Amino acid sequence: MRRHLFFSKWPLATFSVVIGALGACGAASAALVACGSTAADSRDPFTEEAGVRIDGGLVDPAEAGIYDGGAPPGPEPSCAKYCDLVMESCTDQHAQYASRKECLELCARLPEGHAGDNETNTVACRQYYAGSPARTNAGDYCLGAGPFGGGVCGDRCTAFCGLALGACSPEAGAPAPYGSYADCQASCQGYSYRDGGADGGGEPPDGPKSGDTLNCRLYYVRSAVHDGKGCVDIAPDSGACRN
């Protein structure tokens, strides 16, 4: 009876507003905060750490919008695709190979890797840099796209020793320039490396062909891969790369 008297004191319009508000709170979850919910009740329904929604469902990657900041996956690596890209993107003073044939020969001796690699001694890494990076800035990225990785796709000694020992071995019918991979790495670390320029440095397809440097030995690795005839010149006591 008192409840009846209590409501009877309210004007009809006020009573209608109150009833409408109560109905809205019960019908719409979006009104929880306005209706006295806690901050926890209004959390975003996604949780990045667990990869599930608070309501129990799996997070849809498209709506979660999570990106780890690494290199986005690209096309699967292949020597054909890589050589097409690097021959197109890196030309003139930025050329990394004398011909597509040379590119395919050297590529065949590199680890393939996985799409999206951007810092390992793999075909995938070189293919990554031979694409948009080299097309837009050949001066900065063509060395990374080249056969020796430019200090970007692994270090040069890793590429050098892998290619040298793969091309120059009794199994390949050529003299081994180093007793083991460890011997090659130790020697390589002691070779000087000259950046490209007037000093005849860099690692272009046409040289340098002399000087006691890693640059010179990188040139003869190309020959070794092609026909096995450069093997003696990539050793520590190289005749060509000693003066």
* Residue partners of 74: CB distance under 8 A and separation at least 6: 115, 116, 124, 127, 128, 131
Nearest to 219 by CA among 38, 109, 96, 129: 96
Q: At residue 34, does pLDDT exceed 70? A: no
CA distance 35 to 104: 69
Beta bridge partners of 53: 46
Question: Is the separation of the CB atoms in 138 and 94 below 8 Å?
Answer: yes
Nearest to 58 by CA among 66, 39, 72: 66
* Residue partners of 129: CB distance under 8 A and separation at least 6: 118, 141, 142, 144, 145, 152, 153
**Per-residue pLDDT reduced to its tens digit, 176-185:** 999 999 999 9
Amino acid occupying residue 72? P
**Per-residue pLDDT reduced to its tens digit, 149-162:** 999 999 999 999 99
CA distance 148 to 157: 8
**Per-residue pLDDT reduced to its tens digit, 159-217:** 999 999 999 998 888 889 999 999 999 999 999 999 876 556 889 999 899 999 999 99
8-state DSSP, 137: -
* Residue partners of 103: CB distance under 8 A and separation at least 6: 79, 82, 83, 86, 87, 96, 97, 147
**Per-residue pLDDT reduced to its tens digit, 119-148:** 999 999 999 999 999 999 999 999 999 999
Question: Is the separation of the CB atoms in 241 and 233 below 8 Å?
Answer: yes
CA distance 98 to 146: 11
Find how far residue 100's CA is from the centre of its chain.
Answer: 23
Question: Is the separation of the CB atoms in 202 and 219 below 8 Å?
Answer: no
CA distance 81 to 123: 10
CA distance 166 to 176: 9
